[in-house]
Structure 1
Amino acid sequence: MAAILNVRAVVRGYRLTPTVSAELILLLDEHVSSVHSRTRISAKPLSIKTQELRVRAICAALVELREGGFALASPWNLRRKHIEWLVQRWVSVKQSGGTIENKLTYLRALADWMNKDNLVGTLDDYADRKENGLVRSYVAEVDRSWEANGVNAHEKIAEIASTCPRTAVQLRLQAAFGLRIEESFMLQPVRAVNDIDMLLEVTRGTKGGRDRVVPIEEKYAVLEAAARLANPLTGSTVPADRTLKQWRNWYYYVLERHGITKSGLGVTSHGLRHQYLQEVYEKWAGVTAPVKQAGKRPDAERHSQAIRRVVEAAGHSRPTKANAYISTFARQERLAKPTPTIDEVRSALEAAAGNKSHAALALGISRQALYRLLDAA
């Protein structure tokens, strides 16, 4: 049976009126675990974590509306003007495009439960992404792997093992098989191994319910270490005396203690997944990933094959998703070009008779980059 969030406990932590709280709880009780996604391929209910994120985002939006002077007597009174106001508020306080998109996704689910299909649009319906700096890039510009940031994964994980062997083994699973953090928590090392085909079946904690298999190759030792720490009740490496949420908090505490943060050593545990997928690309393409900036390119067929392998190993559905881990040769070439000086920009504008598009083309940069250089002058 699917786990369902205690929505009452969450909703009552917000300053909503009794009527709004009661009607929202009725909606959530019926729908909180239901899937609302065009890309999800599994019929599995949402995880407790996602359910809680959904409830908190909806409650916070209703609180913001009340603070903004909109005294909604019921969630059913939600109108387009309220969504427009919320987006403008979020844009004004410089929230990222991704954050706003996520909030709109949660509100779109709420609208769907109330049969208001066209109530919530996309971010593009409310704001100009370029003008407001909300363009979301899905192409890596910097290498987030531990290797690229001077962190030896083997040595650092061994160091972490002295503090918490379970955290260390979960990091080893991420490094060995490209698992997401949640996948490494929930993997059942004994049950997930397909010995016949030498594959690891990743089915728990996956994004969008996309199960996948990953070659085990010569990495049985990692799985054996994880199996020794497996919880006898659940089969995962999360200890029996902690909930998943409690374990997640402990996990991040251990990482911070050992400097595995952006402000510490400049890496996060997700960087291990980047490193694994870059290695997959190199294995099949015969050259390092574009983000490594080595300058070497494979032929088109090998590149396409390597991209397919990366996407399969990552558990994504579209080839372009690989770019988030390995970048593209075009993006890295553009980044390698020196930034034009303001004098060069002015000279290019003068030569182009003030035509910014022509000046940007002559400088080898985008028009948006030209505007940023002019604004900074």
Structure 2
Amino acid sequence: MDDLTYTLRQLCQRNRDGSHNTQADRMRSLSLAARQLREAGFRQMKASSLKGKHVQALLDRWQGEGLSSGTIKNRLSHLRWWVEKIGKSGILPADNMQLGVAERRYVTNVSKARELGTGLEQITDVHVRMSLQLQAAFGLRREEAIKFQPSYADRGDHIALKGSWTKGGRERTVPITTREQRDALHAAHRLAGTGSLIPANKTYIQQRHVYDGQCKAAGLSHMHGLR
């Protein structure tokens, strides 16, 4: 193991911010960055050696590989964590636009959302209620909200949705930007623990039937229109 990867591992072990999944993602991302810096010719680096030229080299590579702005933004968030921990926050501007990285937009999440209103009060199944709250907070589709597993999805600054939950089987992420979102996630953690919002004694199809029946009775029969 080279010095940079080793010292980055030490940095991560000393600063265990976020969930276990967040920490694992961070370590994978930083290990990748260390390897790519080595391939770019930067040798004998340590975690404390990071400079603006190194960040630019990584950014040039990622953009040259045609990565999506979402992927690049996630990697930059890990770099920001790195520079913060070594006391060099000034290396990276807070605004990704200054780096030529377009911000991800989630217009569809907002435009398809609807207020739950008093209908939520009529939902008696706690798992369905939680799914609906997540739909309202994050603009999730029905299947995503029912299969939601907070211990996997919560990545600190965003939620990650498995391909097995989403339409078309494509993994996607949604940023956590509001207090409402964070509060909904805390509630989901308390209810589901390490599991999902499908009760242990039910299958997905069975819970979907419960969801549909409860929503219809509460006048929320089109809640899957949230997404």
- TM-score scaled by length of structure 2: 0.53
Task: Evaluate the alpha carbon distance shift between residue 96 and residue 171 of structure 1 in structure 2; reply closer, same or farther with a 3 A threshold.
Answer: farther
Other-structure match for 2:31: 59
Cα distance in 2 between the residues matched to 1:140 and 1:182: 22
Other-structure match for 1:137: 105
Task: Evaluate the alpha carbon distance shift between residue 84 and residue 184 of structure 1 in structure 2; reply closer, same or farther with a 3 A threshold.
Answer: closer
Matched position secondary structure for 1:94: coil
Cα distance in 2 between the residues matched to 1:27 and 1:51: 11
Other-structure match for 1:28: 12
Cα distance in 2 between the residues matched to 1:48 and 1:20: 22
Cα deviations by residue, 1:57-106 (Å, 9 ceiling, x for unpaired): 11111111111222242121111011111111111111111211111111
1:126 aligned partner, one-letter code: L
Q: Does 1:178 align with 2:148?
A: no
Cα distance in 2 between the residues matched to 1:101 and 1:185: 20
Cα distance in 2 between the residues matched to 1:235 and 1:135: 33
Contact 1:58–1:107 under 8 Å retained in 2: yes
Contact 1:170–1:185 under 8 Å retained in 2: no
1:125 aligned partner, one-letter code: Q
1:190-339 paired onto structure 2 within 5 Å: 210-212=182-184, 236=192, 238=194
Runs of 4+ off more than 4 Å: 141-145, 169-176
**1:126 pairs with one of 96, 99, 117:** 99
Q: Unaligned stretches of 5+ in structure 2?
A: 114-124, 136-144, 154-175, 197-202
Cα deviations by residue, 1:244-292 (Å, 9 ceiling, x for unpaired): xxx8xxxxxx98xx9xxxxxxxxxx9xx9xxx9xxx9x98xxxx99xx7
* Structure whose residues are more often helix by fraction: 2
2:105 aligned partner, one-letter code: S
Other-structure match for 2:88: 116
Cα distance in 2 between the residues matched to 1:173 and 1:185: 20
- TM-score scaled by length of structure 1: 0.34
Cα deviations by residue, 1:301-349 (Å, 9 ceiling, x for unpaired): xxxxxxxxxxxxxxxxxxxxxxxx68xxxxxxxxxxxxxxxxxxxxxxx
Cα distance in 2 between the residues matched to 1:72 and 1:91: 25
Q: Which has the greater radius of gyration?
A: 1
Contact 2:21–2:152 under 8 Å retained in 1: no
Matched position secondary structure for 1:23: helix
Matched position secondary structure for 1:140: helix
CA RMSD of aligned residues (A): 4.5
Cα distance in 1 between the residues matched to 2:109 and 2:86: 41
Task: Evaluate the alpha carbon distance shift between residue 85 and residue 113 of structure 1 in structure 2; reply closer, same or farther with a 3 A threshold.
Answer: same
Q: Unaligned stretches of 5+ in structure 1?
A: 1-15, 34-45, 146-168, 187-206, 214-233, 240-246, 248-253, 259-268, 293-324, 327-377
Contact 1:171–1:184 under 8 Å retained in 2: no
Cα deviations by residue, 1:1-59 (Å, 9 ceiling, x for unpaired): xxxxxxxxxxxxxxx41x324322332222132xxxxxxxxxxxx11111111111111
Q: CA deviation at 1:172?
A: 4.7
